[in-house]
């Protein structure tokens, strides 16, 4: 992985560009230490606004300003057009005419009864309290008039690649952080220091918008940790500039949860100790934090609260894990719905294996995730001695993980994950069959050793 530290790239003894270094007298040693002082680090975090929904609005501009939610299913090429052809057979309803589809033709969420979940919602829908990860049925109660569109990952991936290519044309030091966000090292880029980085942020925003019609929000700060928080300050289509001196006024009043790395569990524990804001956290003795949250995490909490983070912007970000999960149409029971669960489980394993193979990765930590009918979630994983992208192996090991969870409750979600990824073919030679440890006993599993899987292999 190539890593950028934001230091000035010129060699120490390199004269500044265009400058001639001469010694008038032999005893005068030419001053070759003309390297300009290192520039202060300026790191941007850029995040697209309501990304999936905004991409949908590009093809259906008539929905601009309306509450729209994305989720519930995958887009089948032109459900809508098919219905239009039936309703208005004398008109041309080819794909170029999507912008002419009358509003009345779009499906609403009113009366939705499935188990679908929202991936994202337009800002107009968010004013009703609708947001990512919310069940569509709940959203239907909050805003029955909201328009429901299915997901189209190919389209989102296309725009994801497009906006990232635009950024690297302007500022080459970019780290991919997912489908709709990146970190960018502004330090050395023209405009990256002007007005704290606002000039460059504005240029990038404008160029992305002109090329795609999509808006984004940018936070520019001394490091990734603060930049990530700052990109949310002025969403949508906003720019926020944060300097070190703004720590107390802009960062300390925020909830601890705003720090990327403080999840719901840590937040709950912090709250139990009366720590609500980042300022509360900064005020705690670092030794107390270490005692209560563990040495490494406690130390990190302290540094984060003081806005310190020197992680570099790395050019390539490798995926850490790949997973597939599904929420069932109705809750399923491990015994009563054994064969259906088995089929779904096998399909998830095959999908993860196909994802790994398509992208050229293999992994050795295989895990499962369950969500019960009471919404409680559990995960289990197991690490092998070998790296794999093989569906049957993933299925076998994930099946072992399933034996370690309570299966007396009904389930609403099942997921399979493969982690500790490496590029295919780069893994060190593997020892013999993998072993797993349950409690204190370690045993080998091989082709024939696998006895009873929870769900039958079909
Ligand atoms: P986000 O950047 O978190 O959200 P967003 O771009 O929709 O909205 P915002 O303006 O607040 O940034 O996520 C990017 C995309 O990832 C989002 O458009 C849909 C998808 N996503 C999910 O599928 N499920 C989720 O729970 C979240 C949070 C996002
Ligand atoms: Mg976003
Ligand atoms: Mg995002």
Q: Assign residue 129 a region: left if phi > 0, alpha if psi is -120 to 50, beta otherwise?
A: left
Percent of the chain with pLDDT over 90: 69
Distance 348 CA to ligand 3 centre (A): 25
pLDDT at 444 over 50: no
Residue nearest to atom 29 of ligand 1 (CA): 119
Q: Assign residue 76 a region: left if phi > 0, alpha if psi is -120 to 50, beta otherwise?
A: beta
| pLDDT at res. 34 | 64
Residue nearest to atom 22 of ligand 1 (CA): 119
**Which ligand is located closest to the Cα atom of residue 126?**
1
Distance 304 CA to ligand 2 centre (A): 23
| pLDDT at res. 32 | 54
Q: Which residue has the tokens 């808006």?
A: 215
From the candidates 169, 181, 210, 244, which is the catalytic residue?
181
| pLDDT at res. 431 | 41
**Sequence spans of domains, the chain:** 43-48+155-248, 51-151, 252-310, 321-444
| pLDDT at res. 31 | 53
Q: What is the CATH number of domain 51-151?
A: 3.40.1170.60
Residues 6+ positions from 371 with CB-CB distance below 8 Å: 327, 377, 411, 412, 413
- Of the two residues 442 and 398, the one the predictor is more confident about is 398
Contact 220, 44 (CB under 8 A): yes
Residues 6+ positions from 178 with CB-CB distance below 8 Å: none
Q: Work out the mean pLDDT of the chain and round it to a whole number.
A: 85
Structure tokens at 124: 């107009």
Average pLDDT, stretch 330-336?
92
Distance 98 CA to ligand 2 centre (A): 25
**Which ligand is located closest to the Cα atom of residue 125?**
1
**Which ligand is located closest to the Cα atom of residue 56?**
1
| pLDDT at res. 18 | 33
Contact 108, 147 (CB under 8 A): yes
Q: What crossing angle do the helices spanning 295-305 and 286-293 adopt, rounded to 10°?
A: 140
Q: Which residue has the tokens 């560009």?
A: 17
Task: Please give the CATH architecture assigned to the domain spanning 43-48+155-248.
Answer: 2-Layer Sandwich (3.30)
| pLDDT at res. 1 | 40
Ligand 1: residues whose CB is within 6 Å?
47-52, 119-120, 132-133, 179-180, 235-236
pLDDT at 436 over 60: no
**Extended strands (E) in 373-449:** 377-388, 411-419, 422-423, 435-438, 441-444
Residue nearest to atom 15 of ligand 1 (CA): 51
pLDDT at 271 over 90: yes
Contact 119, 151 (CB under 8 A): yes
Q: What is the CATH number of domain 321-444?
A: 3.30.1490.100
pLDDT at 94 over 50: yes
Distance 228 CA to ligand 3 centre (A): 10
Distance 45 CA to ligand 2 centre (A): 11
CATH T-level topology, domain 252-310 = DNA polymerase; domain 1 (1.10.150)
- Of the two residues 96 and 247, the one the predictor is more confident about is 247
Contact 156, 52 (CB under 8 A): yes
Residue nearest to atom 7 of ligand 1 (CA): 50
| pLDDT at res. 432 | 34
Neighbours of ion ligand 2 (CB under 5 A): 47-48, 51, 180
CA 68 – CA 124 distance, rounded (Å)? 7
Contact 203, 183 (CB under 8 A): no
Q: Is 84 helix (H, G, I), strand (E, B) or coil?
A: helix
Percent of the chain with pLDDT over 70: 84
Which band of pLDDT confidence, cut at 50, 70 and 90, is reported for residue 83? confident
Which ligand 1 atom is the nearest neighbour of the CA of 49? 10
- Of the two residues 237 and 26, the one the predictor is more confident about is 237
Quote the DSSP letter at residue 277.
Answer: B
Residue 181 is among the residues annotated as catalytic for this protein: yes
DSSP readout, 385-401?
EEEE--HHHHHHHHHHH
Residue nearest to atom 23 of ligand 1 (CA): 119
| pLDDT at res. 89 | 86
Average pLDDT, stretch 90-111?
86
Give the pLDDT confidence of 127-168 residue by residue, as tens digits: 999 999 999 999 999 999 999 999 998 899 999 999 999 999
Which ligand 1 atom is the nearest neighbour of the CA of 71? 23
Integer angstrom CA distances of residue 228 from 115, 165, 302, 458:
32, 20, 18, 45
């Amino acid at each position: 992985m190539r890593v950028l530290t934001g230091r000035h790239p010129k060699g120490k003894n390199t004269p500044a560009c265009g400058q001639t270094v001469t010694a008038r007298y032999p005893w005068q040693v030419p001053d070759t230490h003309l390297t300009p002082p290192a520039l202060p680090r300026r790191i941007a975090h850029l995040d697209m606004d309501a990304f999936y929904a905004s991409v949908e609005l590009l093809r259906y501009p008539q929905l601009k300003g309306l509450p729209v939610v994305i989720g519930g299913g995958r887009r089948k090429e032109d459900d809508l057009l098919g219905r239009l052809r039936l309703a208005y057979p004398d008109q041309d309803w080819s794909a170029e005419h999507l912008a002419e589809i009358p509003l009345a033709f779009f499906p609403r969420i009113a009366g939705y009864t499935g188990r679908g979940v929202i991936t994202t919602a337009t800002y107009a829908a968010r004013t009703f309290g609708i947001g990512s990860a919310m069940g569509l049925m709940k959203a239907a109660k909050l805003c029955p008039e909201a328009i429901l569109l299915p997901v189209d990952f190919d389209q989102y991936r296309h725009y994801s690649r497009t906006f990232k290519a635009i950024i690297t044309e302007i500022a080459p030091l970019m780290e991919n952080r997912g489908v709709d966000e990146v970190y960018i090292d502004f330090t050395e880029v023209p405009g990256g220091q002007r007005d704290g980085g606002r000039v460059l942020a504005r240029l990038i925003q404008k160029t992305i918008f002109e090329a795609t019609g999509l808006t984004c929000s940018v936070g520019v700060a001394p490091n990734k940790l603060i930049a990530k928080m700052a990109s949310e300050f002025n969403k949508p289509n906003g720019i926020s500039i944060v300097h070190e001196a703004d720590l107390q006024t802009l960062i300390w009043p925020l909830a601890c949860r705003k720090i990327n790395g403080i999840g719901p569990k840590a937040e709950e524990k912090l709250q139990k100790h009366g720590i609500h804001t980042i300022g509360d956290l900064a005020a705690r003795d670092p030794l107390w934090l270490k005692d209560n949250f563990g040495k490494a995490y406690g130390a990190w909490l302290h540094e984060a609260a003081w806005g310190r983070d020197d992680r570099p912007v790395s050019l390539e970000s490798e995926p850490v894990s790949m997973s597939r999960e599904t929420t069932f149409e109705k809750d399923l029971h491990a015994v009563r719905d054994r064969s259906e669960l088995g089929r779904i489980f096998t399909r998830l394993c095959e999908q993860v294996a196909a994802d790994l193979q398509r992208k050229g990765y293999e992994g050795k930590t295989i895990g499962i995730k369950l969500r019960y009918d009471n919404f409680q979630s559990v995960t289990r994983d197991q690490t092998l001695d070998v790296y794999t992208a093989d569906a049957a192996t993933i299925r076998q090991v994930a099946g072992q993980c399933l034996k370690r969870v309570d299966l007396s409750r009904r389930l609403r979600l099942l997921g399979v994950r493969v982690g500790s990824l490496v590029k295919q073919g780069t893994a060190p030679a593997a020892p013999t069959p993998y072993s797993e440890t349950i409690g204190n006993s370690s045993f080998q599993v091989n082709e024939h050793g696998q006895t009873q899987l929870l769900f039958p292999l079909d």
